[in-house]
Copies of this chain bind each other. A is one copy, B any other.
């Protein structure tokens, strides 16, 4: 088991971070950090998952290139501009790594690079180059907060978490920061999540663990069904915990993967709950399925449905939309076996049994659905498997934020 500890992305031994304002976005808030650095004092094995969008931002390609050898030392990231679909995007992503390398005494290839913000406008690389020395000077073991702030766009809350656990007598730590908010429908990646650990683990095992975990955490989130061009989840492991190197899928691997899954699930839930304009986190849990895959597909269709999301905003127990979304998910199930309940800290109410609506207390349902976290609980009564997916409600503020985000 693991304990949650403070420190965020700097919790693991040997990692420092920083976040500064350099002015990426013309007319941006001068108080808002927009440039983040994360650095390890030792070389790290590294693994990443990336967006499957066919239109990929330049930083994705540059990072893929830099991680081809499976090692890295740090991360450089900016908010305020996605560095996607614009002139000089590839050159500017490389220039960001070069500036980070100069300021820290490393090589450009040692850096993972990421950008988030508006698509299609040329990156203000001069501002980033000018701000880099300040970012490097600010690197410190308490820098997780500043870095987490620097990658936020329309996020309203910082997303960071860290855990410690024992591996053969050695304390191993995992820490992370992430950003989410809009254009969130990850597919083998997520908006931006940077995970650090002092665990000694091979690049192969790290990649294996990350891919297994991302499939069950970030890839089960949807805010608006739009898979971003810039999604990236990276984990860096510097081995400084001194545990016996994880080379196989042994108990150590299982412990590490479990802790990594806890970290990623917490961030995934935070991203869903802080979706653009969201007033509540909506979880759909599908149980009694014949396979985890079909449970996941059903749950994701439910949290992805615009009509379910609008009903959750209105705290309206419109469970017919839940069944409708399950029906078009392309997962097999028998509608006439399905139970649906709504649950939150205010209680639980069964609204549909064996596919037919029940009489229920509308006031009680309203009370349950008015809480900041709501669970849509579905039982298929067909098997033993289950899966949970996370999303948020569809609100006036989502429309407002996205009706005029760019200008």
The one of B182, B332, B352, B399 in contact with A313, judged by C-beta atoms closer than 8 angstroms, is B399
Chain B residues positioned under 8 Å from A225 (CB to CB): 225, 304-306
Which A residues from 219 to 275 make CB contacts under 8 A with B? Answer: 224-229
Q: Which of A5-13, A51-59, A206-214 touches B? A: A51-59
Contact A404:B316 (CB < 8 A) given known A119-B323, A325-B226, A399-B394: yes
Let me know if A335 is at the binding interface, CB within 8 A. Answer: yes
Q: Is the interface of A mostly helix, strand, loop or mixed?
A: loop
Chain B residues positioned under 8 Å from A95 (CB to CB): none
Let me know if A98 is at the binding interface, CB within 8 A. Answer: no
Interchain CB contact under 8 A, A119 and B183: no
Chain A, interface size category, equals: 35 or more
* Complex: chain B residue closest to A182, CB-CB: B307
Interchain CB contact under 8 A, A306 and B402: yes
Chain B residues positioned under 8 Å from A120 (CB to CB): 319-320, 323, 352, 356-357
Q: Which of A25-33, A83-91, A162-170 touches B? A: A83-91
Give Cα distance in the complex from A310 to B223, angstroms. Answer: 14
Chain B residues positioned under 8 Å from A404 (CB to CB): 314, 316
A contact set with B: CB distance below 8 Å: 52-56, 82, 84-87, 118-122, 182-183, 185, 187, 224-229, 304-307, 310-311, 313-314, 316-321, 323-329, 332-333, 335, 352, 355-357, 362, 394-396, 398-407
